[in-house]
Amino acid sequence: MFDRQKKIRERFTESFGKVKDDSFNFELIERYFRNKDHTGVLQAVSDKTCKDLDFNELFMFADRTVSKVGQQFLYNTLRTIPFSGDKSDSRETLIEKIGADSGLRLKVQLLLNSLSRDNAFYISSIFQDEHLKKPKWFFIIPLLSFATFLSLLMLPFTPQFIFPLLGLFMVNFVIHFWNKRNLNEYAGSIPQLLNLNKTAKDLLKFDLFTSVDRELPDSIKVIDKVRNRMSFFKLEAKLESDAEILFWAMLEITKSLFLLEPLLLFGVLEQLDTKRKEIERVFCFVGYVDSLISITSLRKGPGVYCLPEISTEFKILSTNGVYHPLIPDCVSNSITVDGKSILLTGSNMSGKTSFIRTIGLNSITALTINTCFATQFSLPRLKIFSAIRISDDLMNDRSYYFEEVLTIKEMIENSRDKVSVLFLLDEIFKGTNTVERISAGKAVLSYLNSGGNIVFVSTHDIELADMLDDTYELYHFSEQVENKTVDFDFRLKTGKLKNRNAIRILEINDYPAEIINEAIEISGELDKLYTIENKVNESH
């Protein structure tokens, strides 16, 4: 036992500040988030935005939790933007103390390790899911149990009671194994609930955590009242070794005879049904403590991080040295938004979309776990919506353009909110022709930019940049094309992109000369036409 604890301690010490070497079952990790009521928060980040921003990859990078409870709690935290940051100061105090005391951290991690098995994922179902209801004929079960007890009691005095006893045993045996399926639904979660309650009690022995939730001791006591009945399920879950086979067989016969399992199961479920708030309170406390260790470990990693400044000013966002935490050796950039939104130009692979994702991910981590991958990051409290990854919905016979229209329509509806919104778009309306793309794009981007909203959008359309230069700050990414190479520096530069290298890149990749020459000729003619149109528009 001591050697095992020693190995666990060594593992926790070595892994601190590092990315988890573990598998991630997002179907189970997301359970708590999916079933939680988020009406009391500013925003639960949508699946669409999470997909656009590679949220699951971000979570796998940020998650350093020990328990499955902590993992579910952290996932919900990262996807839930609160209305205010009232608790951030107390959280930072706890993180600072955990980071400064490795001995304390290891003790807490050892306690949390008791909830590291996959069964702990199902604890949330106890307070979130509907419980099994007694069947209409359930009233017969206590009668059968009492009849069996009475028959056994009378058997020494009246041997003929063996016949009704055998009949009762056969009926009870059928009901007993009918109930096994019901029992299996809770064979993991109820024993883990006992572990959860014990872990919470042990954590409260540390003075550091007593102030997290003053009502927690009362919730623990309420769950303790059901502990004895629930311990039966823990016993059931432990009977696995060969040495216990005989005991298990005798126990099964006893349970079958007196229908103990259905009586205990439905009795416990009725009691747990009235204690949902208390169970969730204990769940959140343990998850919160684990998430604090996870955030501490994340910040101890090799990357630069900062605490964000949450501003009360609208339409102001600034950052220095911001980078994408999932891109190895990512080039950092700086930008300031002050009254205008941001329009990015640049060729493919130059860094436009990655930069938009960088702003989106850092905004999420700033508003949820008070951590940014930058030397400085300031933003208002806002919602986040994106239109970056859009694809055809073939199952519903919807084209790329139609999917894009629906996504941007949702953005338009959210832009009217009194709360500021950060909109992230990549190549708006690229599913349609040039004229209508530029026309519709200009109109939509002007609309989204209203009020305190901030828009980050990329485009290949220089015309769009010209139309929006009064309400959007223009930035670009560029590349150097020399000989047979294309070099990207991934540096954000002010102004719109002036050099176009698409045809040059075709040339260095040995496209036929006639294709290159024709492309250059057509490009020149279109440039002349565009210049004439601009002059006409300016004269009017």
Please indicate whether residue 203 or residue 147 has the higher confidence score (pLDDT): 203
| DSSP helix/strand/coil, 157 | coil
E-strand spans in 36-103? 43-44, 80-81
What single string gives the DSSP state of each residue in 456-487?
Answer: EEEES-HHHHHHHTTTEEEEE--EEEETTEEE
- Taking residues 95-110, what's their average pLDDT? 96
Average pLDDT over all residues of the chain: 88
- Taking residues 189-205, what's their average pLDDT? 95
- Taking residues 512-535, what's their average pLDDT? 70
pLDDT of residue 474: 95
Burial class (CB in 10 A: 0-12, 13-18, 19+), 27: exposed
pLDDT single digits (tens) 42-62: 999 999 999 999 999 999 999
Token pair, residue 533, equals 């149109």
Question: Using CA atoms, how far apart are residues 310 and 81, in angstroms rounded to an integer?
Answer: 12
pLDDT of residue 237: 46
pLDDT of residue 84: 87
Please indicate whether residue 348 or residue 219 has the higher confidence score (pLDDT): 219
pLDDT of residue 398: 60
pLDDT of residue 336: 96
pLDDT single digits (tens) 146-155: 988 888 888 8
pLDDT single digits (tens) 22-46: 999 999 999 999 999 999 999 999 9
pLDDT of residue 536: 44
Contact 423, 455 (CB under 8 A): yes
Please indicate whether residue 61 or residue 239 has the higher confidence score (pLDDT): 61
| DSSP helix/strand/coil, 383 | strand
What share of residues in the chain are helix, strand, coil (percent, to 5)? 60, 10, 30
pLDDT single digits (tens) 226-236: 887 777 666 55
190: enclosing H helix or E strand: helix 189-203
Q: Single out the residue of 274, 283, 254 nearest to residue 120, CA to CA.
A: 283
pLDDT > 70 fraction of the chain, expressed in percent and rounded: 91
pLDDT of residue 532: 52
Q: What is the pTM of this model?
A: 0.89
pLDDT class for 105, splitting at 50, 70, 90?
very high
pLDDT single digits (tens) 133-173: 999 999 999 999 998 888 888 888 888 888 888 898 899 88
pLDDT of residue 89: 87
Contact 115, 286 (CB under 8 A): yes
pLDDT class for 530, splitting at 50, 70, 90?
low
| pLDDT score of 480 more than 90 | no
Distances 330 to 260, 323, 371, 466, 479 between C-alpha atoms, Å: 61, 6, 18, 30, 16
Which range has the worst mean pLDDT, 226-235, 299-308, 317-326, 529-538? 529-538
Question: Using CA atoms, how far apart are residues 154 and 158, in angstroms rounded to an integer?
Answer: 6
pLDDT class for 394, splitting at 50, 70, 90?
very low
pLDDT single digits (tens) 486-518: 778 899 999 987 766 677 677 777 788 888 778
What residue has token string 């009690």? 201
pLDDT class for 531, splitting at 50, 70, 90?
low
